[in-house]
Amino acid sequence: MLDWERRLRKMLIKSGDTAGRDRRAK
């Protein structure tokens, strides 16, 4: 995983809804 991708994930986690979708996607 790239470093910038990790930062994006942190932002998604803050969103909450996006985080759930991202986790299911992977």
From residue 17, how far is each of 2, 5, 24 by CA, in Å? 22, 17, 11
pLDDT at position 11 is 82
Tokens coding 20: 């759930």
Q: How many domains does the chain have?
A: 1
19 is in which domain, residue-wise? Answer: 1-26
Is 18 in contact with 12 (CB distance < 8 Å)? yes
pLDDT at position 14 is 77
Is 4 in contact with 17 (CB distance < 8 Å)? no
User: What contacts 18, CB < 8 A, 6 or more positions away?
Assistant: 12
CA distance 6 to 20: 15
Taking only the tens place, the pLDDT of each residue in 1-26 is 588 888 888 887 777 665 566 666 66
